[in-house]
Amino acid sequence: DGVTIELTAAYVAEYLTLGYASTVHAGQGRTVDTSHAVVGADTDAAGLLVPMTRGRDSNVAYVVTQAVAADLPTGAATEVEPRVARAVLADVLERGGHDVSAQQQIVEAETEHRSTWRNVGELVEGVVVATAGATSATLDRLAEAGTLTEAQRRDLAADDSMGAVERILRAAELAGHDRDQVLTEALEDRSLVGARSTGQVLYHRIQAKVEKSLAPHVESFHDLIPADAAERVRPWLEERAERADDRRRELGEHIADTAPAWAIDALGPVPEEILSRAVWEHKAGWAAAYRELAGHEDERDALGAAPSTGLAEKYAVWRTAHQALDLPDARADEREMTDGQLRARVAGYDRERAWAPAWVDDDLAATHQEAAKARANAAIWSAHAAADGADAETAARLREEADAERVRAAQLQEQADQLALSDEARAAWFAHTAVSLDKATRARAELETRGVDLEQPADRTTADEWVRTHAEVVGAEDAYREVDVLADDVAEHVDVLDGPVLETDVADIRDLAVEDERERADVAREADRAKLDDTAAMVARAQQALAEIEARDAAFARRAADEAHQVELARWTEEQEREEAARDESDAIWV
């Protein structure tokens, strides 16, 4: 603005530096008091490591967790699922900074340009832009019609759960539903008055309406494009879908040529006949496209676990590939479970974690190192004591120290053996609870897509609250139920229980055990190697865990034996009935 600022020579000499024209890398190479770097998906390892080592006092990285394509409009990042900052940084480091030839760069760029994850990713981002505001427009229309009050419309606009509502509407759309109609019917179903979270209530209404028919199947990536997508973006979306389909067909041919184990396990050998081979390639192409989209590289597991239904497009591709390979649905679908059932799975694994044996890998390794060091010291000092030229006093002292090191080595080895027991128990516990962990992980992911915050106390319902609410609902409906009166002779035989029947009187280790403090977070230790008192406690905990696992396995074995006995008894009874029926028929014929 033409204002002149005068600085004293002393100030300039002490606080100012002449800034010459410089490159970004030269600027990053300076040593400064504090360093601040913005790290995104395009950052390479050098772009992260250099700025994170320039600050004398601190080095701070600001991580972009909601990355979008550069050509998308401002605001598109708000519709993208955020990633964990640590995961973004891990990807940056994994990319490394190795130099490749120009020819190799061209090949990699062309492969990336054709890749499923690139084109489907851009397609999904474009769909978000194309459908932005559709739900808000429907809500505004319903508010004008009086279905929603102004207060409810404001609540929905500010409700964090609306992201989950958007995702389930998109999933319903891919499954063949009209998203506008689904949303309208959910709001017109009944009043939202008294709802603590209007967004969560709306989500559960939509889920209850469409949960039995959320099984999307696409014939082409063009099916991922909404029917009402704006004409201005449709050509761009069609181009990405066509590229993705071309890549799918290319991958199908490649899989037929290479015949990886996962494809042979799922589809059988590649047929020689042309038409059969084309069908085989079509099925394998969908599976390979999903594997490339999800980064799934397992040599035997064709598709891996299903993605959350909140990732509607990705789930649709997984479902199509799953059907193409004709894989069995071996696991329950979390999408069809209630919030309470999902919470129970998460809480179930938390209870299992309470009695987990201590994780002792670091302690065990440190103890082995200390024992090896003690044995080496004993050998060295014994050699020095036996060396020529050593005076008697020095030799005696060295032998004494060598003996002490041997004793210490033996104690450390005994401690290592005890820690090994705890390590084996930990492995046994992990294998024993692996199914619970898998179910809890998928349940937690599904709850997140529904906008349910497990860490929010206000979002929880206690057992007493549930029983009270259930009784109120049942009582309100009793007035409309038909009443059946039991006959006197039947009523006399109806048993009435005075109280609850206990399943078992044996104390449950999940209620008695106290979770190890290192189970959820790293806890600093005074030393790397476990102390003797710590080792004794670890071993005792490991023995309790092994006893619990043994008892459970025995109970499972008894149950399996009982079920096998019941099956055998039913088979025997059925055979007896058939034999008796055959004898009766034979007697009737003879008569």
Structure tokens at 54: 């320039």
Rounded distance, CA 184 to CA 187, Å? 5
Phi, psi of 304 (to 5 degrees): 75, -170
Structure tokens at 445: 């992911």
* First-to-final CA distance of the chain: 123
Structure tokens at 516: 């190890």
CB 227 within 8 A of CB 127: no
What is the distance, to the nearest Å, from the Cα of residue 282 to the centroid of all Cα atoms in its chain?
29
CB 222 within 8 A of CB 242: yes
Predicted confidence at residue 366, as pLDDT, reads 83
Residue linked to tokens 């509502």: 165
Q: Cα angle vertex 472, ends 470, 473, to 5°?
A: 65
List beta partners, residue 63. 39
Structure tokens at 326: 């004709």
Predicted confidence at residue 345, as pLDDT, reads 86
Residue linked to tokens 């806890």: 523
Rounded distance, CA 384 to CA 401, Å? 11
Rounded distance, CA 204 to CA 309, Å? 14
CB 413 within 8 A of CB 535: no
Rounded distance, CA 90 to CA 110, Å? 24
Phi, psi of 51 (to 5 degrees): -65, -20
Amino acid at 557: A
Rounded distance, CA 173 to CA 218, Å? 12
Rounded distance, CA 85 to CA 61, Å? 10
Rounded distance, CA 195 to CA 213, Å? 26
Q: Is 156 helix (H, G, I), strand (E, B) or coil?
A: helix
Predicted confidence at residue 515, as pLDDT, reads 67
Cα–Cα distance list, 198 to 164, 185, 187, 458, 539 (Å): 12, 15, 10, 15, 51
Predicted confidence at residue 501, as pLDDT, reads 41
Cβ neighbour number for residue 458 with a 10 Å cutoff: 7
Rounded distance, CA 569 to CA 573, Å? 6
Phi, psi of 56 (to 5 degrees): -75, -40
Predicted confidence at residue 107, as pLDDT, reads 60
Cα–Cα distance list, 103 to 106, 110, 112, 574 (Å): 5, 11, 14, 73
Cβ neighbour number for residue 76 with a 10 Å cutoff: 17
Structure tokens at 591: 């008569």
Rounded distance, CA 271 to CA 229, Å? 40
Structure tokens at 474: 């049942």
Structure tokens at 53: 């080592």
Phi, psi of 59 (to 5 degrees): -135, 120
Predicted confidence at residue 524, as pLDDT, reads 45
Structure tokens at 354: 């309470």
Predicted confidence at residue 9, as pLDDT, reads 93
DSSP 519: T
What is the distance, to the nearest Å, from the Cα of residue 59 to the centroid of all Cα atoms in its chain?
30
> What is the model's pTM?
0.45
Predicted confidence at residue 520, as pLDDT, reads 56
Predicted confidence at residue 523, as pLDDT, reads 46
Question: Over the Cα atoms of the chain, what is R_g?
Answer: 34
Task: Give the number of residues written for the chain.
Answer: 591
Structure tokens at 266: 């799922």
Q: Cα angle vertex 68, ends 66, 69, to 5°?
A: 165
What is the mean pLDDT of each successive set of 10 residues along the chain, which is 591 residues long? 88 82 64 85 81 86 80 60 77 68 63 72 76 76 77 75 75 76 75 67 73 71 79 82 86 88 87 89 88 81 73 80 74 67 84 81 82 88 78 84 89 85 84 83 73 62 67 67 55 45 55 64 46 71 82 82 84 84 72 58
CB 266 within 8 A of CB 302: yes
Structure tokens at 524: 């600093």
Predicted confidence at residue 490, as pLDDT, reads 44
